[in-house]
Each structure stands twice: as C-alpha cells, then as structure tokens.
Chains A and B, each alone.
Chain A
Amino acid sequence: MAGSKYRHSDGVTRPTVVVRDVSMRYHVPSTEAQHVPGRGGPSSLARKVLGRAPLVPVDALNRLSLVAEHGESIGIVGRNGSGKSTLMRLISGQSRPTGGAVYASSVPVMLGVNAALVPELSGDHNIVLGCLAMGLTRAEIDDKFASIVDLSGLEKAIHLPMRSYSSGMSSRLRFAIAASVDPEILLIDEALNTGDAQFRERSKERMDELRAKAGSVFLVSHSLSTIKEMCTRTLWLDRGDLLMDGDPESVTQAYLEYTRHLTKGNNETAARLRDEARGSLTVTEVEARESRRRRA
C-alpha cells in the first residue's frame, strides 16, 4: 500500500531532498492553563507573575524521514494543523527543526502566499529587491522584469506602494517574483488557489513550465484533484504524523474516506482508518553515510 511503485532502489542515486529524523516542536502560550501538567520552575513562575499565559509544547511534526529523488513531484495532503506547512517551511529553510536536519542538492525556492514584502516600497522596487535577494544580477533582472510584471498581472498598480495592495494582489506579485527563477527544488504552498480565474490560468502555465524543468516539486494543496493531476507521489500527514506515503490515487482516496467519516461524525471509524493507514506504513530511516559537509 505504501507506495510500492515508488520504492527506491537500495543504492540511492540522485536524492534532491533528504529529510532526516526531522521533528518540530513549538512552545506557544496557552490559555488552557489548568489542564497543563505543572512545569514548575522559575520561568513559569515569572510568566505567571507577569500575567502572561504559560507556554505549552506543541508537536507540529513528529520524527520524520523522507527522501525525494530527481523527477518526483510530491504532493502533501492533510487537514489543517497536520504539519504540512511546517514540513514545507523546514524544507525551505525558513524554520529550523528542533531535531534532525534537512539536506538538499540546491537551495529550494518556496512559492508561498504570504503578504507584502516591503510594504512602503512600490511593486516594481519589490521585484528588483526580491530578485537581488535571490542572487540574480541586475542584467538578469532587467531581462526578466517585464515577464514578472506580466505574470503578476498588476499592470499600472506595479508603481504603487505594496501596502496599498489587496492580499490577492500582493500574493500574485510574490508568486511572480519567486517564479522568476528556475529552481531545481520547488516548493508550492497552496499558491495555485490564489487570485482570480485569469491569474490561476497564467500561474498554472508558469508552474507547469517550472515543474517540467525542476528536479523535484513539493506541493501542498487542499485540492485533491490538483494533487492527483500534478504529483507522482503523495504524503498524508495528520497531527504531525506521517500516515501514508505512496501513489497519489490511493493516498488521496484513503484521505478522502477519512475526512468523510470525520464530517459525518463517525469518529471511531475515522480513528480506525487512521490507525490502519499508519499501521501499514513502512517508515523511512535515513542512514547517512557521513562525508565532509558542503557549506551552503
């Protein structure tokens, strides 16, 4: 069940991304104070005195290993809070895991949908700035500038400060900037679902181009049809656990069945399905043949 078609041969040849024993735990303030098993000590006492909510640990991602190979498009499905975005942030290097490490053959580029970059600068300044930050030269930027503006679809608004943009406009601009480089490893977090129909069409075209050129693609989406259409392998995460790792058809189907039972309130059936999925999973352990580490 767990992705027999996508079994790696034993001598791994060209991994693009290696996620090794990665876990992520956040400490967040919780108002649910009394239910937290008392972690005494001076720091929690200090927080109490200062009137701040006590910190509770949240496991966003439990220990997980993963190897992505050249040419794979990996979809990630799961409910809200399942750890999808955390995993993406770890692979892109935006967050550092609390345990383990992520290795990659080149710096991954994330196409996210966050808000403005530098709000007080105009859209065109943000384009140049973003491209320079990604390490492009001025000449390369001059080449790409028109196509970035074109892809963003902002037209005249490109000269206005970014703080005046709607959230859709700024995520379109961000997408256009990030998509201007041809990354070997591409991370897409729900980027397809932004914007109006016209932008969706254009962004999908660009994404297909990038996907064709990229070595590996990671795609987080709630749209199962997108996952099935675009991916060669799919992961199902639930509350920080990896439940399935296999071909998109069977994984999305199992996930769909699970969520259907949840919506109907059949919690026991859903829990059984979850255990079954987890129970038939073959987890990956990465055995690193340590060698001199190349610096980023």
Chain B
Amino acid sequence: MVDGVKDEASPDVAGVRVVPVSTQGLLRIGARPGLAEYLRQIWRHRAFIVYDARARVSSGNRRDRLGSAWMILNPVLNGLTYYLIFGLLLNTSKGIENFIGYLIIGVFLFQLSARAITNGARSMQVNKAVIQAFNFPRATLPISVNVREILASVPVLITMLILVLLFPPTEDITWRWVLLIPALFLQSVFNLGVGLILARMISRINDITHLLGFGLRVWMYASAVFFSYERFIDHPRLLAIVELNPLFNVLDIVRDCVLYATLPSWESWAILSVWAFGMLALGIVFFWKGEESYGRE
C-alpha cells in the first residue's frame, strides 16, 4: 500500500472533457426488458430450455450407483414408511377406501411437486456459472428445471399406476385415467410458479433454503397425503379452507379418476386452475422484476 488515506473522487485532476453522446441506438447493459419483450426472449430461447432439460434428465442421478432408479425407489420407500406408521400403527386408514392406492398416489404426486419446487428454487444458485457466463433471460432456468421434472416424472407416474393396479383391491382402467394428464399439467404449472418466486427469494436471501424443507413438510401434512381431512376436521368452514389447498385438489382429482371411478368435481378443477395460472402469472412478474440481480456475486 502506498498510503493509508484514500483520495476522494476527483478534485485533483487536470481538467474535464465533456463528451456529448446520444444514447439512441444504444442499449443499456444489464437492463431488464419490458415484460412482453421478456416473454418473447424466453420463447426465442425455447431450444435452450428443452436442451438443458433433456441433458440434465440423464445426468440427474449419475453420482448414485442405482442412478435413475432412485426416482422410483424414493417414493416407494417413502410410501412404505408412511404405510407402516400411518396405516398400521396410527391406523389413519380407517374410512378410506383402498388405502394403499390412496397412499401411493399421495406420496408419488407429492414427491413430484416437492422435487420440482426445490430444484426450481435452487436453479439460480446451481447455475451461477452459466448465468455469469452468458446473457439470456434467466427465467429459462426455472422453466427448464420444470420441463426436466416433467420428463423425469413419466416413468415415476407409470410405476405409480402399476403399483395401484398391483395392490388389491384392483382398480379398473377407465377413460377417466386420461384426466390425469390435465391434472398433472396444472400441477406442473403451479410448481413452476412457486419455483420462480422462491428462486428470486433464495438468490437474495440464501437462508430461505433452510426453511424450504420445513415448508414442504408442513405442506405435505396439510395435503391429505396419508389421511383424509374428514376424519380430523369437524368444523365445516375450516374444512372448506383446507380444501382450497392446490395439492389436495390434485390428489383429489387423481384419486377420483384412478381409484374411485368418479368424475372429479368441477370445483376441484376450478380451484386448481386458479392456483396454477395465478401462481404462474405472479411468479413470472416477480421473477422478471429481479432479472438484473441474478448474476451478482
């Protein structure tokens, strides 16, 4: 160090030369584009999204010896745990028709959301190197995470349906099974919306990562994954409120279609759609507002 004292901005220079510059035709570097232009940029990067998603599906579990099998083993083992605790020990299965099927659908579908939301939320940190290396709309990263989760969920869902068919009482395959597709689509849209919001929050305050696991667990217990609301909640208004839970509505729709051969109520579809598209709209706007901040050290 030459001297300890820091000289102030510039009282001591020889002179000032004023350069007139027209900023017309120049773009401000790092500036956030308007929302419409931002969405257009995301669309132009669709090849990036798809490539990123597909490349990472295959590399996701590469460090584990059993590789992608963990995608299926994980919910199976979880389901087994919950079956032992809730089904056999605590006997929450009382009053639920085909409890094993009920539990399988709950555990598998909850896991899809939990994974998608966690990975979406962490996408800014995980991809810091890519973000700092290239200029592209950052929202493509959470989107690609969710596309990846959708691709990876196909074998998981097939396993889920096979398990439902394997365990007695055996369910018939009806045309209603097709309704799984729109239900899971809405679930994914919802996951993306939540992921976008959390991604910005975590990139700003890392501590939220620690809370995410707790939040997800609370959400799981509040979503009738391994028991039904009716058994524990007597108050009708409280019941109405907890039944607004988007994940509960996904589970309800899928269980109606797969297990109980009933057509899901339109209310369930309405509630789920409002959640999904509302969350997506909120998520995109919230994430876009922080667009200039994600590359920061």
Task: Report A's interface with B, CB cutoff 8 A.
Answer: 2, 8, 10-12, 15, 18, 20, 26, 59, 62-63, 65, 67, 90-96, 101-108, 110, 112, 114-118, 120-121, 125, 128-130, 132-135, 137-138, 161, 174, 178, 239, 241, 262, 267, 270-271, 274-275, 278-296
Contact = CB atoms under 8 A, between A and B. Distances in A.
A91 B17 contact: no
A58 to B, nearest CB: 11
A20 B248 CA distance: 53
Interface in B84-142: 127, 129-130, 132-136
B29 interface: yes
Contact of B15 (A20, A161, A282): A282
A161 B26 contact: no
B154 interface: no
17 contacts: A2-B14, A12-B20, A15-B21, A90-B29, A93-B135, A129-B51, A129-B52, A129-B130, A130-B134, A133-B130, A178-B133, A241-B7, A241-B10, A282-B16, A290-B23, A291-B22, A293-B28
B30 interface: yes
A120 B62 contact: yes
Given A96-B30, A103-B23, A293-B23, A62 B9 contact: yes
B265 to A, nearest CB: 43
Nearest to B141: A133
B28 A133 contact: no
Given A20-B21, A278-B13, A284-B16, 4 more contacts: A101-B28, A120-B59, A121-B56, A285-B16
Nearest to B130: A117
B45 A135 contact: yes
Nearest to B38: A295
A292 B34 CA distance: 14
Contacts of A102: 28-30
Given A121-B56, A121-B59, A285-B17, A295 B34 contact: yes
Interface stretch (B170-178, B198-206, B234-242, B289-297): B289-297
B2 A274 contact: yes
B2 A294 contact: no
B157 to A, nearest CB: 24
